[in-house]
Amino acid sequence: MPKLLILRNSQSPGDVVMLTAAVRDLHRSHPGRFVTDVRTPCPALWENNPYITAIREDEPGVRNIDCEYPLVHTSNQLPYHFIHGFRKHLESQLGIRIPPTDCRGDIHLSDAERAWMSQVEEHRGIGARFWIVVAGGKYDFTAKWWATDRYQAVIDHFRGRLLFVQVGEQQHHHPRLHHTLDLRGRTTLRQLIRLVHHADGVLCPVTLVMHLAAAVETRAGRPARRPCVVVAGGREPVHWEAYSWHQFVHTVGALPCCAAGGCWRSRVQPLGDGDAKDGPDQLCVDVRRGLPACMDLITPEDVIRRIEVYLDSSGVVRGRDVRERGEHATIP
């Protein structure tokens, strides 16, 4: 008889994308042994997921698990990616081994979603090609921000070659970029997933869209791995966040504050909102021109070069559609 599990997590969507990977790996490793349902703030991430079955709270024999990733506390010392965090915790909770099966989250599209045109095509016509840009972030993690004028310099450099589509939640910090298609505050989470599906590439800081860029399948006829340039600085250990096919622009090791790994600081300056992130142990210790020094070291030219490596002379992503053989790849 399969064991019934309700997996709970109340964190941000980027974290929940990592939980989707743990659920996938659980079922691939132990087919038929568990029935799982989830309770998270973002049900859109679980739509069409074949590993999720509705379970009532009062179902006899159901086990509730609060899913965490304590592995992050040793991320500067141990060579693990974020993808392993929830998986390792679930192993300890269930007393079983759950081997990893892929190094990305597990987001599923329906056939109907694959057939729909993108929001960009609604504005620019069928076949419009584009990159997504996220040029800000949440107010509680200002240490992740890069300067708006630097993002603008990147956009301006590619004007006429690449169409950038700007996204971001209305309540977060996302200053308007010129010469972009502005979809800030105009996408639900599910619409954002579909937008990523259609996108040729992504430019962003360490954020949800970086994880979606890895987890969401590409369109037929496109390279199987979506290009993504991440302006990362020195906040997180590279091996914890970076996907091997992304261009992860970091400065870990370049400054005393991130000499041995990510600093994990949250803010450039106190916000006075009563959050623990205003504490001295959470504030950046080296601020330059309003940015963490690790982000200030990254120039528009650095980011432009990382985008260029993906492109041919017309601005189209190099490569062809080479889909992986078999059901899934095994990560040792």
For 278, residues 6+ apart whose C-beta sits below 8 A from its C-beta are 267, 270, 271, 272
- Cβ burial of 123 (10 Å; 0-12, 13-18, 19+) is middle
pLDDT of 229 reads 98
Q: What is the CA 30 to chain-centroid distance, rounded?
A: 27
- Cβ burial of 202 (10 Å; 0-12, 13-18, 19+) is buried
Tokens of 320: 């062809």
Task: Judge contact between 35 and 53, C-beta under 8 A.
Answer: yes
Q: Which residues pair with 8 in a beta bridge?
A: 39, 66
pLDDT of 330 reads 29
Range 111-308: architecture per CATH: 3-Layer(aba) Sandwich (3.40)
Distance CA 144, CA 114 (A): 32
> Given its phi and psi angles, is residue 87 left (phi above 0), alpha (psi -120 to 50 degrees) or beta?
alpha
Distance CA 218, CA 196 (A): 8
For 34, residues 6+ apart whose C-beta sits below 8 A from its C-beta are 2, 3, 4, 5, 26, 27
Q: Which residue has the tokens 């142990």?
A: 281
SS3 content of the chain, % helix, strand, coil (to 5): 35, 15, 50
The model's pLDDT over 147-204, given as tens digits with 9 standing for 90+, comes to: 999 999 999 999 999 999 999 999 999 999 999 999 999 999 999 999 999 999 999 9
Distance CA 14, CA 35 (A): 24
Task: Judge contact between 13 and 6, C-beta under 8 A.
Answer: no
Task: Judge contact between 53 and 32, C-beta under 8 A.
Answer: no
Question: In whole angstroms, how large is the CA radius of gyration of the chain?
Answer: 20
Count other C-beta atoms under 10 Å from residue 138's C-beta: 17
**C-beta pairs of 263-269 under 8 Å, 24+ apart in sequence:** 263/234, 263/235, 263/294, 264/235, 264/236, 265/143, 265/235, 265/292, 266/140, 266/141, 266/142, 266/143, 267/140, 267/141, 267/142, 267/143, 268/142, 268/143, 268/145, 268/292, 269/142
Q: At what angle do helices 208-215 and 13-29 cross, to 10 degrees?
A: 30
pLDDT of 130 reads 98
Which residues of the chain have a pLDDT value below 50?
324-332
